[in-house]
Structure 1
Amino acid sequence: MTNPPPGWEGILAPDEQILWQGRPQTGMVWSDLISPVSIMGVFFTGFSIFWVTLAASMVPAGDPVFRLFPLFGLPFIAVGLYLLIGRLFWDAYVRQRTWYTLTNRKAYIATDGLFGRSLKPFDLREMNSLALDDGAPGTVWFHSQAYARRSFRTASGGRSGGSRRQTTVVRTGFRRIPDARRVYRLITDARETVMA
């Protein structure tokens, strides 16, 4: 068993029993580089560097005000680099500061990170997408939430082409744990008990 971070004592209800505790595997996940987000990061970074370089070459000599103009592209370079590789470092940092607990009633994800501490409980009855990504390490997914947004497109000639609804699904679970298959079985058994 892995002890929870200091200060989380007294969270569980009196009749809650801990079935499993663990932590995600730490380190970089280089396989996550192969994703559409990385491709977008390559284009975003490349275009931003091109824009800054072009803007710097167009600055009149001896004009201190216009010398600042190319610097407006630096935040866009930073965003592109985050999409390309920075998100891998952030993910590794968050996993290093994360603890998992499974009880006979809930799954808890505790994080003690850069922006403070957070504790997210997921009731066994409300787990809406239980799935196992088997492996060593593996992942047990148990919750997903869809976020919808509208994107507007322009038809040729500048007329409005209407809007399109895009949906992004965010999954939550016990990520990159060494005993994922066992934890998956513990969750399914616990759910059967509380749903009976």
Structure 2
Amino acid sequence: MSEASAPGWQGILASDERILWQGQPDRRLRIGVGELRRAAPGLFFVAFSLFWMYNAARSSVPFALFGLIFLVIGLRKLVEPLLLPAYLRSRSWYTLTDRRAIVATDTPVQGRRLISYPIDAATPVEMVDGDPPSILFGPDADAGFRFIPEAEHVLGLLRELQRSNAPRPETTDPETQPE
């Protein structure tokens, strides 16, 4: 059975397309400076709504309960940037073929999504240090295989793929050249 007809790949790969590598990102929760920066407005929202609810409860309990809406919004803004990236990684699969890189996700809200990035000599490819490292490619900073243990191996495969997909210079036969 060819890889293109393997279960789950029907209609996705070309009949002569070969899978070079498949993997999943590391699923660990990662909280860095970027995530904390994105969560900071949520922390402010939560603190302000709690302060407001406490002071409003001293005069009118029903009026204080109105603050629950803002508390929930703040909690979502606080927790989402911290937990959502790890959840999305746990629902992602990566594939490198002899033509392209594929990032597949399956989430309850968005369903199944498949994004394909053609790989050729002009495709920017960058390895980003981390534990484990990430390989970025494509037109934007979000495209890539994030936190993969086999990053060095995959980078080698990508570089080899770029070389094989590079335009070939035209060769000339010196005997047929006009003098």
Q: State TM-score, norm by structure 2.
A: 0.74
Partner residue in 2 for 1:187: 158
Higher strand share: 1
CA RMSD of aligned residues (A): 2.7
2:118 paired residue among 96, 114, 123: 123
Matched, 1:88 2:82: yes
- The alpha-carbon distance between structure 1 residues 187 and 72, as it changes in their structure 2 partners (threshold 3 A), is farther
- CA–CA separation in structure 2 for the residues paired with 1:127 and 1:88: 34
The residue correspondences of 1:25-174 to structure 2 (distance < 5 A) are 25-31=26-32, 35-59=36-60, 67=62, 69-115=63-109, 116-125=111-120, 129-145=124-140, 171-174=142-145
- The alpha-carbon distance between structure 1 residues 127 and 50, as it changes in their structure 2 partners (threshold 3 A), is farther
Structure 1 residue 104: Cα displacement: 1.4
Query: Where do 5+ consecutive residues of structure 2 fail to align?
Result: 1-6, 168-179
Name the SS for the 1:7 alignment partner.
coil
- The alpha-carbon distance between structure 1 residues 22 and 46, as it changes in their structure 2 partners (threshold 3 A), is same
Structure 1 residue 133: Cα displacement: 1.1
Q: Is the 8 A contact 2:134 2:151 kept in 1?
A: yes
Structure 1 residue 33: Cα displacement: 7.0
- CA–CA separation in structure 1 for the residues paired with 2:126 and 2:149: 16
Structure 1 residue 12: Cα displacement: 0.5
Give the % identical residues. 39
Q: Is the 8 A contact 1:135 1:180 kept in 2?
A: no
- CA–CA separation in structure 2 for the residues paired with 1:46 and 1:129: 43
Q: Is the 8 A contact 1:134 1:181 kept in 2?
A: no
Query: Where do 5+ consecutive residues of structure 1 fail to align?
Result: 1-5, 62-66, 146-169
Structure with larger Rg: 2
- Equivalent residue letter for 2:153: R
- CA–CA separation in structure 1 for the residues paired with 2:119 and 2:87: 28
